Amino acid sequence: MQNEHLKNVLNSLMIISFLIFGGLSAILLITDAPLVGATVALPFAFLYISMMTLVVTAQISDHPSQTGRFLRDWLLMVSFGIVFCALVLAFA
């Protein structure tokens, strides 16, 4: 039961982050902003979070006994991706 609740939370996070990615991409297209690293990094950070969450949710469905390991790996991957996008945003 706990795995099902966790998968529902991860699915909600995945949907929300994908919707934020779509909204930010639409804003970039509507405003004709130049597509440089500083403007593209933030939407793709949300896309990265969405895709990593999709992968981890599928792994939890396949191997529910290793949920803790998958969540730890997900947290590390998402943290690295966010730090990378923040660095691109800061130095681009």
Task: Report residue 33: phi and psi, to 5°.
Answer: -70, 145
Please state whether 36 falls in left (phi above 0), alpha (psi between -120 and 50) or beta: beta
pLDDT score, position 18: 95
Is 80 exceeded by the pLDDT of residue 68?
A: yes
Total domains present in the chain: 1
Please, are residues 34 and 81 in contact by the beta-carbon 8 Å criterion? no
Q: Does residue 73 contact residue 56 with C-beta atoms inside 8 Å?
A: yes
Residue range(s) defining the domain that contains residue 25: 2-91
Model confidence over 24-56: pLDDT tens digits? Answer: 999 999 998 888 877 888 899 999 999 999 999
pTM here is 0.86
Percent of the chain clearing pLDDT 70 (strictly above):
99
